[in-house]
A and B are shown apart, each in its own frame.
Chain A
């Protein structure tokens, strides 16, 4: 593939679909201004009594599995229209439509390499073999018998976004391949101890039960630190798109390593050097060398409101809010600039700030109605400061492709329209 074609669909930028833009206008009242004229015609506004108070509503239990309000039907995953291969592609979380830090399961980003398998959990098995004292096979019931734990962590695709134009228009176009959930399962360490690691055990090769039999090698240190075998997400069983009935979760590591539909763990002395960790998820430098086993997602942040595709209704008070995260631990600070990077001020972080999880930040702001450029930068607990795109390009060049964690500024025009300042 040439340099103009990304190595895969991870960072295919999209033109926002028209109906999504329309939905944004309806949903983002504070930023965009409610369209009062439509509602006024119906007689539902004060001093009148709205029609939905004049008769009983839908019966209790009318939706055995609930769905969002029909008025939110535009808040959906952001799917590229130019996908070459639908079974081996990605869809993005509509970050600019969401609040807090938890991504609803139906909006969690997707990246598949061989489609979404339909797995009967009764027929699913996890095999653990290789450099262990006792090779074992587990059923899903077996895995649920282990002591369980729940933790909140983000998951992010390694290519989120790429380094070259065209850059996306919205926050979702740019970094919508990140989501965050509460995960429940069993510590991988417990399951490895059940089989007994041999002294030579240095890596664990994880394989999915999908049509790609996706395979990645994980250092044993990570497996014994905070890796999880996950069966539930945000309180319910994993969705098929997230690995039902079982997935690996490696907090802070690039998403493809958290192997979905997990069926096999092969304990080895060295990496398997699978296609995914040699020809695929490696980072090509300008001198022709390529970084391999580049696991961590470095500190990053993005302002989600106001952000690209939205419009400030009028000068005056607007809260600036967004999300920050780091694969290396907790977010220590998020700084926001509203003057094109000349000065920075600390945003307020929503507590609790969790390790390797999305962190919501907020900054009160009065827009004076003049053109402005706003941006955020994250600093994590290691002291690492989120870099600019120019700084990254200077070191990595345009063909690096993965692990772009650049600061992304938004330009606000005098009419309130928000656009990508680097596009």
Chain B
């Protein structure tokens, strides 16, 4: 009886050691730990709620200057489009036969603007703008769309607070939608 108990306890200890060990170790032991600094340097994902937006801020007026230098050659002086996408106008057209899809008329979340400009724009030199410049250009584009005032200065909190007009118009994938 006693021997059995000892065996049982021994087995339980062995099982725990195995499972605890398995949890703390990688199955193949391949790769090395990513440091917090490495993750911080590469993780430029901004959530729709503004999570992970950086420190800093930018004004509409500064954004006007940056936009003229960095963006207008493709997107037009006032974001009317050209080689690059049209960025302004179109509100009220999305449910019509001729929808005009722009930041103001179609984009559901304002923080996505910061995310996209920082990672991908300007197309000839992405990730070259400072966070302050990205806030400023985001503010200017939102101002062109009538979504923030001309004196607005946007930071993490105020950018996340901008309510985009088309936010609630996205639905799930209902396919297959042609049935026989």
A interface residues, Cβ below 8 angstroms from B: 1-4, 7, 84-85, 87-88, 113-114, 127-129, 133-138, 142-143, 145-146, 190, 193-196, 205, 207, 211-215, 263-264, 266, 268, 270, 272-275, 278-279, 282, 284-296, 298, 384-385, 387, 391-392, 395-396, 398-399, 403
Scoring B residues 45 to 68 as 1 if CB is less than 8 Å from chain A, else 0, what string do you get?
Answer: 111100000000000000000000
B20 contacts partner chain A, Cβ-Cβ < 8 Å = no
From known contacts A136-B33, A193-B27, A213-B126, infer whether A292 and B172 are also in contact, taking CB-CB under 8 Å: yes
Scoring B residues 67 to 110 as 1 if CB is less than 8 Å from chain A, else 0, what string do you get?
Answer: 00000000000000101111000000011111111110011110
Give A142 to B23 CA distance when docked, in angstroms: 21
From known contacts A3-B97, A286-B95, infer whether A395 and B178 are also in contact, taking CB-CB under 8 Å: yes
The answer to whether B86 touches A128 (Cβ under 8 A) is no
Give A288 to B107 CA distance when docked, in angstroms: 13
Closest chain A residue to B177 by CB distance? A395
- CB-based A-B contact count at 8 angstroms: 177
From known contacts A127-B42, A129-B43, A137-B33, infer whether A288 and B27 are also in contact, taking CB-CB under 8 Å: no
Please indicate the chain B residues that have their CB under 8 angstroms from the CB of A196 in the complex: 23, 26
Give A384 to B177 CA distance when docked, in angstroms: 11
The answer to whether A129 touches B34 (Cβ under 8 A) is yes
The answer to whether B99 touches A205 (Cβ under 8 A) is no
Min CB distance B160 to A, Å, is 12
The answer to whether A213 touches B120 (Cβ under 8 A) is yes
Min CB distance A407 to B, Å, is 11
Please indicate the chain A residues that have their CB under 8 angstroms from the CB of B2 in the complex: none
B39 contacts partner chain A, Cβ-Cβ < 8 Å = yes
From known contacts A205-B45, A287-B95, A288-B169, infer whether A384 and B119 are also in contact, taking CB-CB under 8 Å: no
B173 contacts partner chain A, Cβ-Cβ < 8 Å = yes
The answer to whether B178 touches A392 (Cβ under 8 A) is yes
Please indicate the chain B residues that have their CB under 8 angstroms from the CB of A214 in the complex: 120
Number of chain B residues close to chain A: CB under 8 A? 56
Closest chain B residue to A391 by CB distance? B178
The answer to whether B169 touches A396 (Cβ under 8 A) is no
Min CB distance A137 to B, Å, is 5
B interface residues, Cβ below 8 angstroms from A: 23, 26-28, 30-34, 38-39, 42-48, 81, 83-86, 94-103, 106-109, 112, 115-116, 119-120, 123, 126-127, 169-178, 180
Min CB distance B64 to A, Å, is 22
Min CB distance A213 to B, Å, is 4
Please indicate the chain B residues that have their CB under 8 angstroms from the CB of A286 in the complex: 95
The answer to whether B28 touches A145 (Cβ under 8 A) is yes
Give A290 to B106 CA distance when docked, in angstroms: 9
Please indicate the chain A residues that have their CB under 8 angstroms from the CB of B44 in the complex: 213
The answer to whether A135 touches B119 (Cβ under 8 A) is no
Please indicate the chain A residues that have their CB under 8 angstroms from the CB of B83 in the complex: 84-85
Please indicate the chain A residues that have their CB under 8 angstroms from the CB of B116 in the complex: 274-275
Give A85 to B46 CA distance when docked, in angstroms: 27
Min CB distance B176 to A, Å, is 6
The answer to whether B39 touches A127 (Cβ under 8 A) is yes
Give A289 to B178 CA distance when docked, in angstroms: 18
Point out the residue from A128, A137, A292, A398 that lies within 8 Å of B171, measured CB to CB. Answer: A292
The answer to whether B112 touches A273 (Cβ under 8 A) is yes
Give A135 to B36 CA distance when docked, in angstroms: 9
Min CB distance A245 to B, Å, is 16
Give A378 to B38 CA distance when docked, in angstroms: 48
Min CB distance A349 to B, Å, is 21
From known contacts A211-B123, A213-B119, infer whether A134 and B26 are also in contact, taking CB-CB under 8 Å: yes
| 20 A-B contacts (beta carbon < 8 Å) | A1-B85, A114-B120, A135-B33, A136-B26, A136-B34, A193-B26, A194-B31, A196-B26, A211-B126, A214-B120, A272-B46, A272-B48, A273-B47, A274-B45, A275-B115, A279-B106, A290-B171, A291-B174, A292-B173, A395-B177
The answer to whether A114 touches B126 (Cβ under 8 A) is yes
Closest chain A residue to B92 by CB distance? A288
From known contacts A127-B39, A194-B31, A296-B175, infer whether A212 and B126 are also in contact, taking CB-CB under 8 Å: yes
Give A403 to B106 CA distance when docked, in angstroms: 19
Please indicate the chain A residues that have their CB under 8 angstroms from the CB of B102 in the complex: 1
Closest chain B residue to A284 by CB distance? B99
Min CB distance B117 to A, Å, is 9
The answer to whether B169 touches A290 (Cβ under 8 A) is yes
